[in-house]
Structure 1
Amino acid sequence: MYKTIAFNGKFFGAAPTGVHRVAEQLIAAMDALIAEQSANGADYALVVRNSAGVPSYRNILCVKENPIARRMHRIAWEQCYLPLARRKDFILNLCNLGPLCHRDSATLIHDAQVYSAPESYSLSFRLWYKFLFFFIGRRHKLILTVSEFSRQELVYYGVASADKIVVVYNGCDHVLEVRPDDGQLMTLNLTRKRYVLALANTQKHKNIAVLLKAFAKSELKNVTLVLFGGATKADFENLGHVVPPNVRFSGRITDSELVGLMANAGALAFPSLTEGFGLPPLEAMALGCPVVAAPFGALPEVCGKAALYADPFDADAWSEKIRTVLDDETVRQSLVSAGRRQAGTFTWKRAARSLFEAVKAVTPA
């Protein structure tokens, strides 16, 4: 029996990413669930290197950094300090990576994109992740992932055997708890329901290039494409993309501002060539925003029949689908209703239950 199941909190204090947000939501949902479930006699702890931004939990003890750990690099902390400090515990890693030398671990690997979309990552990043994945998939007791698509990809690329991988779908209901801020509509001079939202991301597999081509067409000249996130107009132009005049960049915005943009958008466009899950489309659906997506990766699995799908290599197809969503009220309302139903099946409580049962199965009573 393990005395403690320890969450790897390396990500606290680091720059926020989508993977980190998933980890935070899972830990919060697990905290709420622990009180309802038999915990196999184990305690739960969150072990952090940096206590900045760590929430308070009711049922999970937060073990904060000591002076030695605080001075360590994140990689050294995870690979050396964490397994030594928690050598008698079962470690739960929720951000793709974990300590190689600690076999009593479960690791959530979100996708296999370092294999399937290598051009989106630097050589050093790819080599480091592939090195760690090779050993994590063989040494850790349990591998978790976020979709059946990702599970199949991890098996295909030899990360782990199918019988070792358990799917824990993400939730999206967190967006319903965020108070929307409509300030970006005025800042960007947007008209409600007449703009389309998409990621400002230059990674090749995100495929924003097809949207830039679609919005350069006459059919969409009076529609605004709003790109949210860190990439700028200059970033796209430096890669050889032509950014049409009806594209606007919000930059990095708060959760409240993003919810405000989603709730008022005519559609969310998500043309990814591969995706381990695809949380933004579900978040948009939960807020009543129609989705146009590529039928690739996990997107059909996650979005189901609640989205319109467009060929990710055909700008004309994206122009046509977007115009349909914006101009055909019957189609729009059908997508809004179907989207809310689809999003309603993906909750963090459900995710926590799946995670709890998966860990319980590999931790002896």
Structure 2
Amino acid sequence: MPELVVLTEQLLAAVPGGTGRYTWELASALAATAPPGWEVRGAVSRHADPSAAVIPGVVGPRILPLPRRALVAAWERGVPLWPGGDAVHAPTPLAPPAARRGLVVTVHDTVPWTHPETLTPRGARWHRAAVGRATRRASAVVVPTAAVAAELSQFSPGPARVHVVGHGTPAVLAAAPDEAIARRVAADLALPDRYVLAVGTIEPRKGLDVLVEAMAGRHAPDLPLVIAGPQGWGGLDLRALAARHHLPPERLRLLGRVSDADLAVVLRRAAVLAVPSLAEGFGLPLLEAMAVGVPVVHSDAPALVEVAGGAGVLARRRDAVSLAGALRTVLDDPERTAVAIAAGRRRAAQFTWQRAAESVWTLHLELYRAVRAGLR
């Protein structure tokens, strides 16, 4: 039985982030849409507890013989440690050296080139090198938007073919949560009745410092700000920033990491979602909010503009006044907002994980047939 191996290492990271969600959702969808006779298996480096990388429908994970740091070093040096399978999909730039079997790597963004200051120096260097190896050596590269494809051709051109494959929305958002469950989640999380919401890891690239400043401004809507996401790198202290900008502490609610089921409730109760990122490769929270009928204000980062497709309200990056004004527009103009919500639902319906998986399968099967033909 031919086997597609998906590297699910990101699920074991301290902060899996958006790439962790992508890894989980894509692997699940690949298993659900596998062609007859194919099996999808996960693979991770050696960990004491790999349970976080267990995905329903996906076999494994297979445990590779090296711990993460040693595996990264081995692959960086070209050690041909193949994770098994007849084809491999790397949902992040952590990938083995190319082999005769098909290797496809997802590159999520070009932030290491466009906004290196939002990463650690070591992280920026590692990602530039890893993406460079992918574009030079992989059989193909998947990117989430045409914006990333264009930037990648500028910063890291290579012989690998680049394919645009968008993301989707998780099944947990497909139906509204039971009302009793929603009330319990809202009470457990101490959610306000109405609020401005942001979703994502708290790190410099997400523009959350600008959002806090915007919400403290005199043109901002008089609502609490709720942020759902774990603390990331960079030491961004949003409570200290709120105090500096005179945003009352009761108007800032930090939820930390929340489950997908709880996020479904948090999203649906929001008055508006703010996505003020300096740079993104796709912007999953934007798509998820549009899918459940929540209006969106987003920055002018090219990928966010592309994904929103005109269904969101635009604000300039790093501009707190522009962001506050955009949020106010959404809340003060219900007729215009209703039109945007309807447009957002239509736009989000164009993106599904099933469609993404089918596109990725088409790519892998084409490569598999080419490899098999070359072996004859």
Which of 240, 245, 266 aligns to 1:242? It is 245
Code of the aligned partner of 2:25: Q
Structure 1: how far apart are the matches of 2:183 and 2:163? 39
**Which residue of structure 2 lines up, in the alignment, with residue 168 of structure 1?**
165
Give the direction of change, closer, same or farther, for the CA distance of 1:61–1:83 in structure 2 (3 Å limit): farther
Deviations 1:75-132 (A, max 9, x none): 4336659953546732211122201354641111111111111111111111222222
CA distance in 1, matches of 2:85, 2:276: 45
State how 1:182-193 maps to structure 2 within 5 Å. 182-183=183-184, 185-186=186-187, 190-192=191-193
1:187, CA displacement in angstroms?
5.5
The more displaced of 285-294 and 218-227 is: 218-227
Q: What residue in structure 2 maps to residue 296 of structure 1? A: 301
Aligned equivalents of 1:210, 1:262: Cα separation in 2? 21
The code of the aligned residue for 2:32 comes to: A
1:102-117 map, 5 Å: 102=99, 104=101, 105-117=103-115
| Larger deviation, residues 303-312 vs 169-178 | 169-178
Cα distance in structure 1, aligned partners of 2:320 and 2:10: 38
CA distance in 2, matches of 1:229, 1:47: 26
Answer with 320-329 or 228-237: which moved more: 228-237
Q: Is the 8 A contact 1:48 1:62 kept in 2?
A: no
Name the counterpart of 1:89: 86
Q: Distance in 2 between matches of 1:79 and 1:4?
A: 26
Asked whether the 8 Å contact 2:311–2:344 carries over to 1, the reply is yes
Q: How does 1:195-344 map to 2 (within 5 A)?
A: 195-199=195-199, 201-220=201-220, 222-231=222-231, 235-236=237-238, 242=245, 244-245=247-248, 246-344=251-349
Structure 2, gaps ≥5 residues long: none
SS in 2 for 1:360: helix
| SS of residue in 2 equivalent to 1:84 | coil
**TM-aligned CA deviation for residue 191 of structure 1:** 4.1
Determine the structure 1 residue equivalent to 2:123: 125
Provide closer, same or farther for how the CA distance between residues 243 and 362 of structure 1 changes in structure 2, counting only shifts above 3 A: farther
The farther-off stretch of 151-160 and 117-126 is 151-160
| Residue of structure 1 equivalent to 2:68 | 74
1:25 aligned residue: 25
Runs of at least 5 residues in structure 1 that lack an aligned partner in the other structure: none
Question: Does structure 2 retain, via aligned residues, the 8 Å contact 1:26–1:348?
Answer: yes
Task: Tell whether the 8 Å contact from 1:275 to 1:299 is kept in structure 2 after alignment.
Answer: yes
| Structure 1 counterpart of 2:168, one-letter code | G
2:13 aligns with 14
CA shift for structure 1 position 177: 4.7
Q: CA separation in 2, counterparts of 1:86 and 1:188?
A: 41
| Distance apart, 1:290 and its partner CA | 0.6
**Relative to structure 1, is the Cα distance of residues 272 and 14 closer, same or farther in structure 2, using a 3 angstrom cutoff?**
closer
RMSD: 2.9
Q: How far is the alpha carbon of 1:227 from its aligned partner?
A: 1.6
The structural deviation recorded for 1:12 is: 4.0
TM-score normalised by length of structure 1: 0.85
What residue is the counterpart of 1:46 in the other structure? 42
Q: 8 Å contact 1:106–1:142 — kept in the other structure? A: yes
In the alignment, the residues of structure 2 paired with residue 362 and residue 172 of structure 1 have an alpha-carbon distance, to the nearest angstrom, of 27
Cα displacement string for residues 32-52 of structure 1 (whole angstroms, at most 9, x for unaligned residues)? 111xx366xx65433334541
Within 2, Cα distance between the matches of 1:65 and 1:174? 28
Secondary structure in 2 aligned to 1:298? helix
The equivalent position to 1:144 in structure 2, one of 142, 145, 148, is 142
What amino acid maps onto 1:6 in structure 2? V
Residues 188, 64 of structure 1: alpha-carbon distance in 2 compared, 3 angstrom cutoff? closer
Residues 1:310 and 1:76: Cα distance change in structure 2 (over 3 Å) = same
**Size of the alignment, in residue pairs?**
352
Greater mean alpha carbon deviation, residues 79-88 or residues 343-352: 79-88
Q: Is the 8 A contact 2:279 2:301 kept in 1?
A: yes
Post-superposition shift, 1:279? Answer: 0.3
